[in-house]
Amino acid sequence: MRIFSGIQPTGAKHFGNYSGGFRQYVATQEQGEAFFCVVDLHSITVDYKPQELHEATLDLAAMLFAVGLDPRRSTVFVQSHVSAHAEAAWLLGAVTGFGELRRMTQFKDKSDAQEFVSAGLFTYPILMAGDILLYQTDLVPIGDDQRQHLELARDIGARFNARFGETLKLPRGIYPEAGARIMDLQEPDRKMSTSTGSEMGKVLMVDSPELIKKKLMSAVTDIGREVRRAGDKPGISNLIEIMSVASGEPPDAIEARYDGSGYGRFKADVADAVVEVLTPIRARYLDLRSDPGELHRLLAEGAEKARAASHPTLTSMYERMGFTR
């Protein structure tokens, strides 16, 4: 069983990334041969600063190990270190429709927020499809916001196979049961996101316990005082999901436990649960981040394994497409 997922070194990672990304990576690494990629090539599709990209790449690598990825078990690497990714993206562009890319809601959302809309922002899902397809991936652990991109990756893979012969395995997405879409704490009708929303709207992986408590205690709640999920209670519904992610308890059980107790105690308990999960991760992160030499070494090892694993697929793609080799 092959597992693949990618995460962008853009800005500080937050609790939504923990829920849909990090914690699922750690759980799935037990199920087979797992590859986790810091997708730095994706990060240049919006405005960015080269020095920040450099630091953010190391920050994210440290975070991947801090959450519990084991370098002996999982291959953790940086996308730009394995040139097959950029090559696969170009080749797959031949079987990706302009209209398909135009339908991507993330492109619509992100391009609205940019003054300069790069061509890379538009073709981004092809690069992502290549990431996944190069590894003959079975499972892709992701959050709900990447669902449309994963469906497109499957369509692109299927079209390649139909046109050039059976070459690429079509992967399946894995989404968390609770917390597949963590919402902004201040504007619970939009997802918690690196690029949008206020500072108080997102709990960051590296926030101090005091700041985590402050953010969760001032999260927007709804009219009424019942702790239960409902369409007209987006704030409380989100906090229940966050509690479920942090404590491992199903949302139903959380609702039952806080029946009749009001919002105040519930919010304080959510804050404690999140602090409990993030505190040891933060400590390991700071430790790992203080040794860039070791991080570079681990990433070089990961890149070597990723090169070896992706090479056969890239070679078959070139051959099936009729290139001379």
Contact footprint for ligand TYM (CB under 6 A): 4-8, 16-17, 19-21, 39, 42, 128, 131-132, 140, 142-143, 145-146, 149, 180-182, 191-192
The least CB distance from residue 261 to ligand TYM, in Å, is 26
The least CB distance from residue 112 to ligand TYM, in Å, is 17
For residues 170 and 142, give the distance between their C-alpha atoms in angstroms, rounded to a whole number.
Answer: 16
43 vs 221 by CB, closer to ligand TYM = 43
18 vs 263 by CB, closer to ligand TYM = 18
The least CB distance from residue 224 to ligand TYM, in Å, is 25
For residues 13 and 202, give the distance between their C-alpha atoms in angstroms, rounded to a whole number.
Answer: 9
194 vs 316 by CB, closer to ligand TYM = 194
Scanning the structure block, which residue is given the tokens 């041969």? Answer: 33
134 vs 227 by CB, closer to ligand TYM = 134
The least CB distance from residue 97 to ligand TYM, in Å, is 19
Strand ranges across the sheet with 172-174: 74-78, 33-38, 2-7, 139-141, 172-174
The least CB distance from residue 192 to ligand TYM, in Å, is 4
For residues 18 and 118, give the distance between their C-alpha atoms in angstroms, rounded to a whole number.
Answer: 28
Q: Residues 268-271: contacts with CB within 8 Å, 24+ apart?
A: 268/213, 268/217, 269/243, 270/216, 270/239, 270/242, 270/243, 270/246, 271/212, 271/213, 271/216, 271/217
27 vs 256 by CB, closer to ligand TYM = 27
